[in-house]
Amino acid sequence: SQQGEEDPQALSIQEGENATMNCSYKTSINNLQWYRQNSGRGLVHLILIRSNEREKHSGRLRVTLDTSKKSSSLLITASRAADTASYFCATDEGGNTPLVFGKGTRLSVIA
């Protein structure tokens, strides 16, 4: 079952601009994670935010979580051409439940 839904499906920005991607989910979650995938390659884990956290930073990445709205956002500041990739959110419901991915946002950063 698809849990997270990313928005927008595709995003094109100029290098140096900020990129914001959103993720909405349906059920209560334990953790929410963001992953990056370069074309045809394996996903790379970016950041994990727990359900009792509201914001987390890692380098140029900022993730927010609003459990009342069942939504999260990923902000990439000062984007670079190398940030061009697909970005996925993934959620789990705790315990032994598996990680469920959304369909992703395709980000293009134009130099």
Partner 1 sequence: EAQVTQNPRYLITVTGKKLTVTCSQNMNHEYMSWYRQDPGLGLRQIYYSMNVEVTDKGDVPEGYKVSRKEKRNFPLILESPSPNQTSLYFCASSLAGVKGYTFGSGTRLTVV
Piece of the chain touching partner 1 by CB under 8 A; list 15-23, 33-41, 56-64, 77-85: 33-41
Nearer to partner 1, 1 or 14 (CB): 1
Nearer to partner 1, 18 or 50 (CB): 50
Strand, helix or coil for residue 106:
strand
User: In the chain, what is the greatest distance between 2 CA atoms, to the nearest angstrom?
Assistant: 43
Ranges within 36-95 binding partner 1 (CB under 8 A) = 40-45, 48, 88, 90, 92
Q: Which residue has the tokens 């979650």?
A: 29
Instruction: Single out the residue of 15, 31, 44 nearest to residue 107, CA to CA.
Output: 15
Nearer to partner 1, 25 or 35 (CB): 35
We find the least distance from the C-beta atom of residue 105 to partner 1, in angstroms, to be: 11
12-to-15, 20, 39, 84, 85 alpha-carbon distances in Å: 10, 11, 16, 9, 11
Task: Count interface residues toward partner 1 (CB under 8 A).
Answer: 24
